[in-house]
Amino acid sequence: MSNKVLEDVLEIIKAAPHSGQSLLLFALMKTLDIQKGGHMYLLGKLKEMEPATRQLAYGLMELMCDNQTLSEEWQVTLQKVESAIRSNS
């Protein structure tokens, strides 16, 4: 599952780095990346997501539950996401 979820998230963010949906996914990824940080993300933000984006968010949370946020794949994807977000500032 990790490849597909991370690829889909990266595609959405690259397509529209400053859209609300992209920024919500980016914020979630950054939150899930902070180990021992309590993963503080307001669940109310899920209501702001479109259904397809929300499914990706659930997939990202599943990856966190499987300790995949420590994987090289997660870190590489997160770097690409950050680069996409910052590239069009």
Does position 17 have pLDDT exceeding 70, yes or no? Answer: yes
Choice between 32 and 71, residue whose per-residue pLDDT is larger: 71
Asked whether the beta carbons of 82 and 27 are under 8 A apart, the reply is no
Q: Give tens-digit pLDDT for 21-52.
A: 999 999 889 888 877 656 666 778 888 999 99
Q: What does the pLDDT read at residue 39?
A: 61
Q: Show me where the domains of the chain are located.
A: 2-87
Q: What is residue 89's DSSP assignment?
A: -
What is the secondary structure of 16-74 as a DSSP string? -TTSHHHHHHHHHHHHHHSTTS-----GGGGGGS-HHHHHHHHHHHHHHHTTGGGSHHH
Can you tell me the distance from the alpha carbon of 51 to that of 65, in angstroms, rounded to the nearest whole number? Answer: 21
Distance CA 15, CA 64 (A): 24
The fraction of the chain above a pLDDT of 70, given in percent, is 88
